[in-house]
């Protein structure tokens, strides 16, 4: 699953280097508010909220901003957001999944469709690319959490399915329905993880060259800049030399 790992690594670097903090925090606030509104406002009693708060904290979102998002849901004045998934193909036939939270389905659909079209991609029907991914729980630990063998043993004991270890750290995967349970078990053994979230993990990858990767990243960045878009996932696969050339040009 090298393509997914490399994309995940790009996401982590982008998050540290050049993400617009206010926009990022706005997306986290929306997810936290929706999670709190749909369930218990106590993160310890609401797995979705707990994971949303954890993800926000991993990007240094202030506690008072997190608390304000939860209180907004409790107060009953939060907007009614709808979860929508869009699927399509980007440059070089790369599969793209876009997850959004919106209070205006028509606005979001129009924006996403326009972005795909301008980037040389095509927005498809629901299910048109999802079959090339598995819905999984992903738990990320930094390298200092342990070596590959240590992480693999801990993951197996916690009920996880797979581990990918690399220079950036350890990605532990489990069934989507087991994420909260596996995350808690790993936390008891290894300490708190950096992130724990649901992801789309590619089962089939699409190769890209440097030009294709640059076009794809432009599409992804434009989608992520949309206030309604929460997550963007692709299934690209690129050789190390292409990744290095892309990062050198950034």
Strand, coil or helix: 196: strand
Q: Which tokens go with 49? A: 């909220």
As a whole number of angstroms, the distance between CA 176 and CA 95 comes to: 21
Assess contact for 197 and 171: CB atoms under 8 A.
no
* pLDDT score at 23: 84
Residue whose token pair is 């670097």: 13
Confidence of residue 198 (pLDDT cuts 50, 70, 90): very high
**Structural domains present in the chain:** 2-75 (1.10.10.200)
- Tokens matching residue 109: 């659909």
Residues facing 163 on adjacent strands: 172
Strand partners, 82: 102
CA dist., res. 119 & res. 205, Å (int) = 20
Q: So what's the pLDDT on residue 6?
A: 56
213 contacts 96 by C-beta, under 8 angstroms = no
Question: What tens digit of pLDDT does each residue of 51-76 get?
Answer: 999 989 988 899 999 999 998 888 76
Beta strands in 1-132 (DSSP E): 82-89, 95-102, 122-124
pLDDT band at 2 (very low <50, low <70, confident <90, very high): very low
The pLDDT value given to residue 123: 94
Would you say the C-alpha torsion 222, 28, 60, 48 has a positive or negative sign?
Answer: negative
Higher pLDDT, 69 or 13: 69
pLDDT tens column, 144-194: 999 999 999 999 999 999 999 998 999 999 999 999 999 999 999 999 999
User: What is the structure's pLDDT at 16?
Assistant: 46
Residue 87 token pair:
């699927």
Helix (H, G, I), strand (E, B) or coil at 139: strand
Going by pLDDT thresholds of 50, 70 and 90, the confidence category of residue 7 is low
Mean residue pLDDT of the chain comes to 89
Report the pLDDT value the prediction gives residue 164, as an integer from 0 to 100: 94
Q: What pLDDT digit, counting tens, does each position of 92-144 carry?
A: 999 999 999 999 999 999 999 999 999 889 999 989 999 999 999 999 999 99
Tokens of 10: 């790009």
Q: DSSP 3-state assignment of 199?
A: strand
pLDDT at 86 over 90: yes
Question: Do residues 123 and 135 touch, judged by C-beta distance below 8 A?
Answer: no
Of all residues in the chain, what percent carry a pLDDT higher than 70? 91
Query: CA 72, 135, 216, 7: dihedral to nearest 10 degrees?
Result: 90
């Amino acid at each position: 699953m090298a393509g997914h790992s490399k994309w995940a690594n790009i996401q982590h670097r982008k998050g540290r280097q050049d993400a617009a903090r206010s926009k990022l925090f706005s997306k986290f606030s929306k997810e936290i508010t929706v999670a709190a509104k749909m369930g218990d406002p106590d993160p310890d009693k609401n797995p979705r909220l707990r994971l949303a708060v954890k993800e926000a904290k991993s990007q240094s979102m202030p506690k008072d901003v997190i608390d304000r998002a939860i209180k907004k849901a409790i107060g009953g004045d939060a907007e009614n957001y709808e979860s929508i998934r869009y699927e399509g193909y980007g440059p070089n036939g790369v599969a793209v999944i876009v997850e959004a939270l919106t209070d205006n389905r028509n606005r979001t659909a129009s924006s996403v469709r326009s972005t795909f079209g301008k980037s040389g991609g095509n927005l498809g029907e629901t299910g048109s690319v999802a079959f090339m991914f598995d819905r999984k729980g992903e738990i990320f630990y930094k390298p200092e959490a342990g070596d590959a063998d240590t992480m693999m043993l801990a993951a197996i004991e916690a009920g996880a399915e797979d581990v990918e270890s690399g220079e950036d750290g350890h990605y532990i995967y489990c069934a989507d329905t087991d994420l909260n349970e596996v995350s808690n078990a790993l936390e008891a053994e290894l300490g708190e993880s950096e992130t724990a979230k649901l992801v789309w993990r590619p089962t089939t990858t699409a190769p890209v060259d440097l030009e294709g990767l640059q076009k794809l990243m432009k599409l992804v960045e434009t989608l992520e800049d949309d206030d309604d878009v929460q997550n963007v996932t692709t299934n690209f696969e690129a050789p190390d030399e292409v990744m290095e050339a892309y990062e050198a040009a950034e």
